[in-house]
Amino acid sequence: MHVFLQSVRAWGAILLIPLVLGHAPRHVVVEWMLVPVEQKRSPTADQPHDIAVAGHPSSLWKNLGSQAGPLLLIVVVVILRSVTGLGFGTFLAELGRERGLSLIAGGVPLGIYNIAGVVGGLTSGYLADRIDPKPLVWGSLILAAPALYAFVYAQGWVSYLLLMIGGGLLLSSNSILVAMAQELAPENSGLVSSLPLGFSWGVASLSLPLIGYSADQFGMAITLKYLALLPLLTALLAFFLPAGMIRKSAKPSRQKS
């Protein structure tokens, strides 16, 4: 359940806060929300001792540097995927305004898009514990592109259906890529988790002014149409991600249980 737990952590923390705060010590709640899944596991026989306990900083950075190539690839994949994800999430309401929708009606596609992303993340996290996660990443990106491209030109309930499919597929690989980064450098799980999360999203958000400028020059529909094709390039890069690592690391824990 490694990747699945990664995908539900944030949502579970938000939903359980009102229930837990009244019945558990505050430091327990804070520790559950902040400490990564890998650090909660007890040391196992097949793990080096310096992974289970804090090691020397120089050793930790040396281990992180040995995985710099795969980590860089994960970061690039997340950045490119997030450019499309943030672009659609930011400008869907503007697309609705161009089409003459009211403020409420224009918010419906944004709600569908975000909810589909949550469902897609939970589903892919569940599947990644059972099959090779690498095809889930590049496969979801390939399938997301035509759905989002068609959404730009569709009307009515068909457009909502295409947006739900495209948004769910596009955003589904987030928990998988975070888990991949943690598996590459378990000694630096906190640092490497921030690379495909805050760092990559922050870099991707720098593209929003360019997307907005393009929309002013060529129209929102045309801009989103070409933005929907970016996941195809991202999927090509995702072919070179490490294969099968999450499933391999999850096998010992399931066998012991």
Residues 56-93 pLDDT 10s: 555 555 556 667 788 899 999 999 999 999 999 999 98
Going from N- to C-terminal start, the domains of the chain cover 69-256
CATH class of the structural domain 69-256: mainly alpha
- How far is residue 182's CA from residue 67's CA, in Å, rounded to a whole number? 11
pLDDT at 120 over 50: yes
pLDDT band at 202 (very low <50, low <70, confident <90, very high): very high
Residues 125-180 pLDDT 10s: 999 988 888 999 999 999 999 999 999 999 889 999 999 999 999 999 988 999 88
Q: What are phi and psi of 207, to 5 degrees?
A: -80, -15
pLDDT at 21 over 50: no
pLDDT band at 116 (very low <50, low <70, confident <90, very high): very high
Average per-residue pLDDT for the chain: 78
* pTM score over 0.75: no
